[in-house]
A and B are shown apart, each in its own frame.
Chain A
Amino acid sequence: MRLIADDLSCERGGQRVFSGVGFSLAEGAAMLVTGPNGAGKSTLLRATAGLLQPASGRVALEGGGEAFPTVAAAAHYLGHHNAMKPTLSVFENLSFWRDFCGDAPLDIDAALDKVDLRAIAHLPFGYLSTGQKRRAAIARLLVSRRPLWLLDEPTAGLDAEAERQFSALMVSHLVAGGMIVAATHHPLGIDAAVELRMDDA
């Protein structure tokens, strides 16, 4: 499986954010998107996820087969928002996403163990702290299998221990043949990651 972006350019509100960006990612590879604020990191991730129509260029997934015909079908997208409902418990939130997204390699308790949230799984999501919310959102990546993780500032709000834990999760995802594209300002603890530096257009 291979993720390919060719000569990608995006506009927001009629303003060119970036142009001529291209990359290619093989199984087991990670790419860090770095650059100053406003350089277009999030825009690049959303365009890759298919949530934003690029002004030119294309993003494609090769070799996804029938299970993953498009990039969107093969991807988990973790944006700035956690995609969780504040009135539902952590467990209910995760079991909804597992049922909706399908293809569940882990049960929810096991996924919660991996992010250290099992003890508070019964609490409404809205009562959690920022870091705990982020960890619950990370657990969503684990409850259904997707080869490509698109992460936008994934460690925002995480403490040092949780960051280490998350690095380990990402490394084991890569070892299992996954791919990661992450927009970040901090090193994420993935040694083999290539860097795509976005500069102000």
Chain B
Amino acid sequence: MLALFLRDLRLSIRAGGGGLTGVLFFLAVVATIPFALGPDLNLLSRIGPAILWIGALLASLLGLDRLFQADREDGSLDILVMSSDRHMLALSVLIKCLAHWTASVLPLVVAAPVLGLVLNMDATSIGATTLTLLVGTPAIAFVGAAGAAVAVGLPRGGLLVSVLVLPLAIPVLIFGVSAAYAAVNEPDPFLPPFLILAALTLFLAVVGPVAAALALRYSAD
């Protein structure tokens, strides 16, 4: 299992940097918004957490369609499916999600504080947003795995994956942003939305890979 994690990590670092593409896209989204909104620093710092979350959500959807498609094209997926007696397929999917998250989404979380400065956010707000991104983005990868598995047989499934995954990722977005806001706006409690966000991630860590494994098993032909 560790071998699978390391292989996927090595692949995404070596094969033209899927992580870097995501970060550049994230940067592009966040950097253009101040130009569109105009030089209102208070407005920027007020909507900063939401902008960071939307940017991270869209950027983390970018590489998702390749999660299983590359393995299918070169035949590796057949062997992963056939090995399911030794390594439960859902577990292999979970490991692939974690590798994808580490290589492509973790750089976004790391970049978020820097982009927070661009948006005139204060330290608490930056810290809270980064923390919610760290806890919430794995959930997007887990839901994304299910979407990617459904679309794995389609040659141009990229857009379909995003359309399938986006509605399911909305709750994550809602609780992520509300927790980030609650950290700054005094009367709102931070902990309840944050804990629900963590619960969402844990819940999807089970449901996503299991659904993806089912889809993969029946899409192999």
Contact = CB atoms under 8 A, between A and B. Distances in A.
A49 to B, nearest CB: 6
A51 B77 CA distance: 10
Given A81-B74, A81-B75, A87-B11, A51 B82 contact: yes
Contact of A82 (B10, B15, B75, B84): B75
Tell me if B's interface is mostly helix, strand, loop or mixed: helix
Interface stretch (A32-40, A65-73, A175-183, A191-199): A65-73
A102 B82 contact: no
Contacts of A70: 85
Nearest to A71: B82
Interface residues of B, number: 25
B72 to A, nearest CB: 9
Nearest to B73: A81
Contact of B75 (A52, A73, A80): A80
A85 B74 contact: yes
A139 interface: no
B36 interface: no
A40 to B, nearest CB: 13
Classify chain A: how many residues form its interface, as a range.
20 to 34
Interface string A1-19: 0000000000010000000
Nearest to A101: B83
B10 to A, nearest CB: 7
A92 B10 contact: yes
Contact of A79 (B14, B78, B86, B218): B78
A166 interface: no
A101 B84 CA distance: 10
Interface of B: 2-4, 6-7, 10-11, 14-15, 73-76, 78-79, 81-87, 218, 220-221
Interface of A: 12, 46, 49-53, 69-70, 72-73, 75, 77, 79-88, 92, 95-97, 99-102
Given A75-B82, A85-B7, A88-B11, 19 more contacts: A49-B78, A49-B82, A51-B78, A70-B85, A72-B83, A73-B86, A79-B78, A80-B75, A81-B73, A83-B75, A83-B76, A85-B74, A86-B74, A88-B7, A96-B4, A96-B6, A96-B7, A100-B83, A100-B87
